[in-house]
Structure 1
């Protein structure tokens, strides 16, 4: 019995990377009976039936999994945001951060198109970058034109399974091309390098980049906070989580409770007001969510 990692799933076949070789495997019938679908990123045990083929016998326990894109055991999410064109949005970034933190995935913030920042926008962008670093996030400033930050980003990929995410137009494809030029991804469409036409099914594949594996997918297409409970939300804002122990009430939601250390920190400027405003808007969204039965 050999061990490996699924790096691609297509038409009922699973491509398992094991000791530098790829085996085309089928899943055991028992998976279907148990309604288990092997996912890209799964650690598996497989039985080789030839030099290139085999059967998946067992799937190891997953650390996490995403529904869209369907992928398991993601260690880090490279959240690509552009400084301009489209404009930098803290609301969208905070939404991504909450979703990623809730899946126990390490977020790395990439602020792309730094070469396009003019003197007017620069102070605001620099302040945002300082704020997120202060909270404890890794922030990398990049430009695919000047190659700024490309080497630094490469070093983060080594030895990890990463997924790139961000809205369209922020330069994800250009960035992946800069990290691995032979990919020649078309901009605006990350998944065209395999010669797939418009009518073929999109599938997830792990590409080897910088000594790690990167999911070839535009990243999270589901950005609803559906799986997050109200009392969990403050846990996914590190600066709220740290201060919540100083609040008078246990389980303080930092909205209107007296002697709330978080609100005091917002008032004194220790927590950026936009972060708190984004938190409040997520609280409202979760409260308005229809109950599930």
Structure 2
């Protein structure tokens, strides 16, 4: 019996990396009875008679798991948005951040296409405003342009070192292109994946971990759902770090920060310590979750 990491799952096969070697395995028959499904990112025990004929025997306990995309043991998420084309949307950014925070995964924000707002003072100031606010919360934020060189991306590459990073964000912002620019050796791999994903309408979309900067990056089909199906109103505030910190001073335990008196969060919004747009998104998401519960 050996221990390895699932780096790809495709058509019922699990591809396990163990000391640089890849083993193609099937899942144990009793997994289905136990309602267990191996995921990309899982640390597993397996046995193999050859590189193409093995069996996954046990799945080690997971640090975390995402449903869409199906992946486990992620240490951080690189959330990629563009300054323009498509337009930067702080509401969408916060929606992604809440999902990532709910799974206790470290978010890293990346805003691409800064070259497209270079000559627009208002748009440029807007992006810098959001960048500063997210930085003040404690998030790492990178502003990138089309003409950035690999040297310009050194800090971002350093941020990805020795991590298992999942990419997420808007469509059309150049997530794969960004990775290729940081590490040109990835080009062939991402091309292969793109080809596999785009071969036909009904091709199974799969998740794969690629070796990157001493760790892995997950080239995924993306987050297909951003509904708050697994987040409750009581835990929503914990997904906004600055709201969670301020809530410790609220007058009432279990304060929802919506209508209670003596709410330290609302006081922090009024004094400017919490950005008003962040609190507005909190209120919006709170209402969305409350309405979901009423429907059910």
Structure 1 match to 2:93: 93
1:193 CA drift (Å)? 4.3
Structure 1 match to 2:134: 132
Structure 2 match to 1:69: 69
The 1:230/1:190 distance shift into structure 2, 3 A limit, reads: farther
| Matched residue SS, 2:22 | strand
| Stretches of structure 2 lacking an aligned partner (at least 5 in a row) | none
Q: Deviations over 1:169-206 (max 9, x none)?
A: 1221221221232444899x994144751142111111
Structure 1 match to 2:159: 156
Q: Deviations over 1:64-122 (max 9, x none)?
A: 11111111111111000111111111111111111100011111111111222233312
| Matched residue SS, 2:84 | coil
- Partners of 1:113 and 1:200 in 2: how far apart? 31
Structure 2 match to 1:170: 173
Q: What do you get for the CA RMSD once the two structures are aligned?
A: 2.2
| Matched residue SS, 2:39 | coil
| Matched residue SS, 2:248 | helix
The 1:292/1:55 distance shift into structure 2, 3 A limit, reads: farther
- Partners of 1:186 and 1:71 in 2: how far apart? 19
Structure 1 match to 2:15: 15
Asked whether the equivalents of residues 65 and 71 of structure 1 are also in contact (C-alpha less than 8 Å), the reply is: yes
Q: Deviations over 1:111-160 (max 9, x none)?
A: 11122223331222111111101011111222243237522221122222
Would you say 1:240 and 2:218 are equivalent positions? no
| Matched residue SS, 1:269 | coil
Would you say 1:112 and 2:115 are equivalent positions? no
TM-score (norm 2): 0.92
| Stretches of structure 1 lacking an aligned partner (at least 5 in a row) | none
Work out the number of aligned pairs and report it. Answer: 292
Structure 2 match to 1:80: 80
TM-score (norm 1): 0.93
